[in-house]
Amino acid sequence: MAHQILPADETRLAEIEVWLDAEEAAYEVALEAWEKSGYEGDAPVRGFRCNWDSAKKGWREGWSNIHVLVVEDEAVGFLDGTDILEIRPDVRGKSYGRVLAEFMENSSRGEGRSVVKIEIAPSSAEPFWRRMGFTPVEDRSSNGGGTFAYKILPRTYPLGDGERVAYAISYFTQKEGYKDEPKHFAHFSGLGEILPDGRIQLPERAFCFNPEDDQHVDYFVKIELEGRVVHFDKAKYEESAGFGVERDAGYDFFIERIVPTGSVGMT
């Protein structure tokens, strides 16, 4: 299958909009018929025309990317950032979705993301995304009304010959963070390596991701070294950044190297 994945331009956007409009028109006809039938059978499936104007706006203003899958000089699919992927209705079932999904995952890895997040719509596409390694969250909708799904992108790091130190990193929701005995939703622990500059290199990225919410939460982070709490506060605070908390391209917090300021006698 000869194909190209190209950055969008106005010509390709106009081409995509033609088939999105046709898909939307067919949906409206099917919806009316379904309503008149007394809602018998499954509801008709809607495409992503409802999101298209906002996607174009973001692309034109420069704060989002759209890539187009082109086969024989025809646009057969598009990817809006890492959130929305659609294949032209008449060419579905030809592995084009896999091509764009793999491109999306590889791009996300290259951007340094901890997690790639999408919306699945229609629900009939869920088996495909499960095969691609994504986990749907049935009780959570995405911005466009589809089912939210995610795939963890693990990052591991080989350690050298430096001294080892036991660490533990935990993340909490805002509600839990204020409790006397908070329960974490993500936890990482193991042995890190003390580097020459005093920082502690972890063997894996310790990332903050809670699939149950939309990430617009004041998460708390707790950092422990040798069983001692050296930091516990909101992850977004400057003090947390001083201990090594960063944010990736998907706006998820993470730690790869702990800065043990004033802790357990580290220098």
Q: What is the pLDDT of residues 232-263, one digit of tens each?
A: 999 999 999 999 999 999 999 999 999 987 44
**For residue 125, is pLDDT > 50?**
yes
Domain range annotation of the chain: 4-152, 164-258
Largest CA distance in the chain: 74
Q: Is the peptide bond before 89 cis (omega within 30 degrees of 0)?
A: no
**For residue 131, is pLDDT > 70?**
yes
Give kind and range of the element (H or E) at residue 256: strand 253-258
Higher confidence at residue 143 or residue 6?
Answer: 6
Higher confidence at residue 49 or residue 122?
Answer: 49
92 φ, ψ (degrees, to nearest 5):
-70, 155
- Tell me if residue 97 falls in helix, strand or coil: helix
- Tell me the Cα Rg of the chain: 22
Rounded to 10 deg, the angle between the 10-36 and 49-61 helix axes is 160
| Lowest mean pLDDT across 115-129, 130-144, 145-159 | 130-144
Distance from C-alpha of 213 to C-alpha of 242, rounded to nearest angstrom: 26
- Residue carrying the six token digits 């057969």: 76
**Residue 36: Cβ within 10 Å count:** 9
For residue 224, the cross-strand partners are 168, 229
| Lowest mean pLDDT across 114-123, 138-147, 169-178, 235-244 | 138-147
The pTM assigned to this predicted structure is 0.84
Distance from C-alpha of 162 to C-alpha of 148, rounded to nearest angstrom: 42
Architecture of 4-152 per CATH?
Answer: 3-Layer(aba) Sandwich (3.40)
For residue 175, the cross-strand partners are none
Which of 18, 26, 54, 20 minimizes the C-alpha distance to 143? 54
Angular region, 112: left φ>0, alpha ψ -120 to 50, beta rest: left
- For residue 128, the number of C-alpha atoms closer than 13 Å in the C-beta half-sphere is 22
236 φ, ψ (degrees, to nearest 5):
-80, -10
**For residue 266, is pLDDT > 50?**
no
| Lowest mean pLDDT across 38-42, 145-149, 156-160, 190-194 | 145-149
Exposed (0-12), middle (13-18) or buried (19+): which is 237, by Cβ within 10 Å? middle
**For residue 18, is pLDDT > 50?**
yes
Which of 50, 52, 58, 105 minimizes the C-alpha distance to 82? 105
